[in-house]
Structure 1
Amino acid sequence: MSSKRWRMQLPLHVMIWPGLILVLLFCYGPMVGLIIAFQDFVPTNGLFGSEFVGLKHFEYMYSLPQTTEVIRNTLFISVMKIVAGLLAPIATALLLNEIRRESFKRSVQTLIYLPHFLSWVILSGILIEVLSPTNGIVNSLLASMGVEPIFFLGDQSWFPFVMVGTDVWKEFGFGTIVYLAALTSINPSLYEAAVIDGANRWQQTLYITLPGMLPIIVLMLTLSLGNVLNAGFDQIFNLYNPSVYATGDILDTYVYRLAFVNAQFSVATAVGLFKSVISFTLISISYWVAYRFANYRIF
């Protein structure tokens, strides 16, 4: 880069510095703590005063029966969220695209987008009341139809699906906006030509709308692969309980309990590092796939 070009771009670089400093301090600085995974960490001895034990805690982590169970739960819940979180906004965007009354269309978009702005701390309190087996509105409706009350948040078989369903309900409005934006890029003359050829609305959707949305669908799907080990700590931590650990405990909540409940800091760091390495690998693969099939670049 020439000195003249560098001087012209210097103000832009200066604008980046505050954000870069924050990233270094709060994202990369704490990574020094990963050394705990290779130590018999004792808080009173400090970060560098504890005994190094190599891969002892990783071996212990793999020997725990809960580790396999937690990984299985994490993969099941996250994959279900990825699939449902892809299909729901696509279907909603296609339905909204058929609405010709703009005021109604905008109202629906606003209503389905609102839950995205609410934290899981707030939503968990609402869901606990709504799904309560004694006085929740869902079980009241089921009782009116002669169905026995269901303990949605305390039943191991129901809990993972409740997590998937509530997550989709919270986030599908944001995805819908993304796909509606993709629909605006489709050339209207294609629909006009299809009408002349006698295509009905379903055929127009099948042969014009969906192929036109395909690049953004591929992009969103491939980018979501990097989150396959992030099943939603905020959501599950605020909604789970010991009775559903068998099917609802995920890597993030497992790390939390190991560190802050059992005080097994070294083992918790080893589990967290294991997850980070796998996630980094998946993110790298997903970005390569996004570049290969959707022409997506990060710079």
Structure 2
Amino acid sequence: MRDRHLYLLLLPGLLLILLFRYAPMYGIVIAFQEYNIFKGIMGSEWVGFAQFARLFRSPDFYEIMRNTVLISLYKLAASFSLPIILSLLLNELKHLVFKRVTQSVIYLPHFVSWVIFSGILISFLNPIDGLFNAILANFGSTPIDFLGSSAYFRSILVISDIYKEVGWGTIIYLAAIAGVNADLYEAARIDGANKGRQMWHVTLPAIRPVIIILVILSLANILEAGFQQVFLLYSPLVYDVGDIIDTYVYRVGIQEANYSYATAAGLFKSVVAMTLIITVNKLVKMSGQDGLW
């Protein structure tokens, strides 16, 4: 009762979580059914793990799993390292106006939707009149269908994701760096440490807990290769390297009305994510670091 006003402030957020996160979990039931929209959940036939067996027996399953994991790992490697490096460099800028302009420029792509960003990218990579092919033509090269080539598609996904999201990733690291005790830098300078040594021996150890937490959260999304980005950029020409679980589920499960099959694939992703986040958090705590809980 003493904190009732605080609980009232908390109530809208809790209601949103219950409504959009926990209430829909009732629908997981259809992953174990042969769901029929006319019969509903209560009237549909119960088939147990048949939908999961169908998923694992699918000739496309291992290919889409490989694509999903590879694309996610490439993005994870970039999203883990580049924002840290960029944050360290931005933190060393002394000209405030230049620093703020640079931060704004690198943050800006994050606020552009993938629909718009993909449209721009497609225009640039168009094999007929795209900017990149126009540049190549000036050097005597033949046009290249970048988005229709298996050799380039994954690289385009990773590079475009880096360009769009790397600035946003620096926000948390810059906030963590701002909280580092200035006395530590002063002591390092007295000991003769240059800027590189200060970053390595002061800044990075100080923000290590933040890095660990973000890595754990990133590993939980290892099967989230970016549905919007892939869906807007891929085509049947690059299914062999670009088709991921989400696009496969959308194409086979949603468009063909195989709702139980789509739910089984989504539940499989969730179980893998839960297993990864628990395992990595346990390993981090065993190493003596603070985990998520």
Give 2:290's aligned residue: 295
Task: Evaluate the alpha carbon distance shift between residue 207 and residue 26 of structure 1 in structure 2; reply closer, same or farther with a 3 A threshold.
Answer: closer
Query: Is structure 2 residue 177 aligned with structure 1 residue 177?
Result: no
Task: Evaluate the alpha carbon distance shift between residue 10 and residue 140 of structure 1 in structure 2; reply closer, same or farther with a 3 A threshold.
Answer: same
Give 2:38's aligned residue: 44
Query: Is structure 2 residue 57 aligned with structure 1 residue 29?
Result: no
- Which one-letter code corresponds to 2:290 in the other structure? N
**Is the CA contact 2:254–2:262 (under 8 Å) kept in the aligned structure 1?**
no
Mapped to 2, the partners of 1:146 and 1:98 lie a distance apart of 42
- Which one-letter code corresponds to 2:247 in the other structure? T
**Is the CA contact 1:222–1:289 (under 8 Å) kept in the aligned structure 2?**
no
Task: Evaluate the alpha carbon distance shift between residue 291 and residue 110 of structure 1 in structure 2; reply closer, same or farther with a 3 A threshold.
Answer: farther
- Which one-letter code corresponds to 1:91 in the other structure? I
**Is the CA contact 1:186–1:209 (under 8 Å) kept in the aligned structure 2?**
yes
TM superposition shift of 1:8: 0.8
TM superposition shift of 1:297: 4.7
Give 2:244's aligned residue: 250
**Is the CA contact 1:216–1:294 (under 8 Å) kept in the aligned structure 2?**
no
**Is the CA contact 1:219–1:290 (under 8 Å) kept in the aligned structure 2?**
no
SS at match of 2:193: coil
Mapped to 1, the partners of 2:290 and 2:143 lie a distance apart of 50
Query: Is structure 2 residue 63 aligned with structure 1 residue 102?
Result: no
What percentage of aligned pairs have identical amino acids? 47
Aligned mate of 2:86, from 68, 89, 92: 92
- Cα deviations across residues 66-90 of structure 1 (Å, max 9, x unaligned)? 1111111111111111110111111
Give the TM-score of the pair, scaled to structure 2.
0.91
Mapped to 2, the partners of 1:100 and 1:285 lie a distance apart of 41
Superposition RMSD in Å:
2.1
Give the TM-score of the pair, scaled to structure 1.
0.89
Task: Evaluate the alpha carbon distance shift between residue 186 and residue 148 of structure 1 in structure 2; reply closer, same or farther with a 3 A threshold.
Answer: farther
Aligned mate of 2:222, from 205, 218, 228: 228
Mapped to 2, the partners of 1:238 and 1:163 lie a distance apart of 11
Mapped to 1, the partners of 2:45 and 2:148 lie a distance apart of 41
**Is the CA contact 2:212–2:291 (under 8 Å) kept in the aligned structure 1?**
no
Query: Is structure 2 residue 235 aligned with structure 1 residue 241?
Result: yes
Task: Evaluate the alpha carbon distance shift between residue 183 and residue 27 of structure 1 in structure 2; reply closer, same or farther with a 3 A threshold.
Answer: closer
Structure 1, 94-103 or 204-213: larger mean CA deviation: 204-213
Task: Evaluate the alpha carbon distance shift between residue 277 and residue 102 of structure 1 in structure 2; reply closer, same or farther with a 3 A threshold.
Answer: same
Give 2:57's aligned residue: 63
Task: Evaluate the alpha carbon distance shift between residue 158 and residue 98 of structure 1 in structure 2; reply closer, same or farther with a 3 A threshold.
Answer: same
Mapped to 1, the partners of 2:183 and 2:5 lie a distance apart of 44
Give 1:3's aligned residue: none
TM superposition shift of 1:289: 5.2
**Is the CA contact 2:177–2:207 (under 8 Å) kept in the aligned structure 1?**
yes
Task: Evaluate the alpha carbon distance shift between residue 21 and residue 191 of structure 1 in structure 2; reply closer, same or farther with a 3 A threshold.
Answer: closer
TM superposition shift of 1:245: 1.2
Give 2:185's aligned residue: 191
Give 1:9's aligned residue: 3
What is the aligned residue count?
292
Mapped to 1, the partners of 2:11 and 2:284 lie a distance apart of 29
